[in-house]
Amino acid sequence: MEFWKKLVFLGLFLVMSFTPVFAQGPPLAPSEFTDLNLGFRYTPPPKMRDLTAIDRQTIRERAAARGTTNTLTLLLSLRSGLDDTAADWHTIGIQTYPREKFGALNERDASVKFSRSVAGNAKEVGQPSDVTIGDSHFVVSSFELREGQLTKRARIYTTVRKGLMLSLSFSANSSDTLDAIVSSMKTFTPLEIK
């Protein structure tokens, strides 16, 4: 009988010890994201949650359901929280796709096309613009998606690095929040690869 009491106590201890970890939700985002293969560093805004593993699994499942392996590669997926209807909700994604899949398109047109793909069924707003951050050239596209009374806004920065389309996508439920998270693009820094 003593053995069972110890086993029950151990079970209760484990459940109580690990419940707060799972109740807290996804882990906090890294303070800095570095991709050595593509040669860049990026610092996301603080207090975001890292949903990269969950979102990668979702992409794999959707691709399998469609019978395709032709998907983008998700490098990073961050959210401010799980309630995407909250006024201050925002998300950041970093994704790649092979440049050669865009054939003979020039880099700017390929960037615009990839940005539209990343945006999904959101409506493009205005014309894409060109910006330079450090020595990196980006095409910037803006999008909106209406969900009932809510309008999600997105800005996508796309470039070509080492044979891959690279997009950093920012989305928020308000223009002010979008502008705040987009300001983190100034932290995008190429790495010197030796």
Tell me the three state secondary structure of residue 103: coil
When pLDDT is cut at 50, 70 and 90, the band that residue 71 belongs to is confident
The alpha-carbon radius of gyration of the chain (Å, integer) is: 20
* SS3 (DSSP) at 132: strand
CATH number for 183? 3.40.1000.10
Q: What is the pLDDT of residue 24?
A: 61
16 lies in a domain?
no
Give me the phi and psi of 66, to 5 degrees please. Answer: -90, -5
The sheet carrying 49-50 orders its strands as: 49-50, 73-79, 90-98, 164-172, 150-161, 136-147, 123-133
112: which 2 tokens?
A: 């615009």
Q: Considering the domain boundaries, does residue 47 fall inside one?
A: yes
> Which residues constitute the domain of residue 100?
27-190
C-beta of residue 59 within 8 angstroms of C-beta of residue 71: yes
What's the pLDDT score for residue 86? 92
pTM of the model: 0.84
Phi-psi region of 120 (alpha: psi -120 to 50; beta: other; left: phi over 0): left
The reported pLDDT for the residue numbered 194 is 55
Question: What is the per-residue DSSP string for 150-169?
Answer: EEEEEEEEEEEETTEEEEEE
Residue 171 inside a domain? The answer is yes
Indicate the number of domains in the chain: 1
Pairing of strands 164-172, 123-133: unpaired
Task: Using a pLDDT cut of 70, give the percent of the chain over it.
Answer: 87
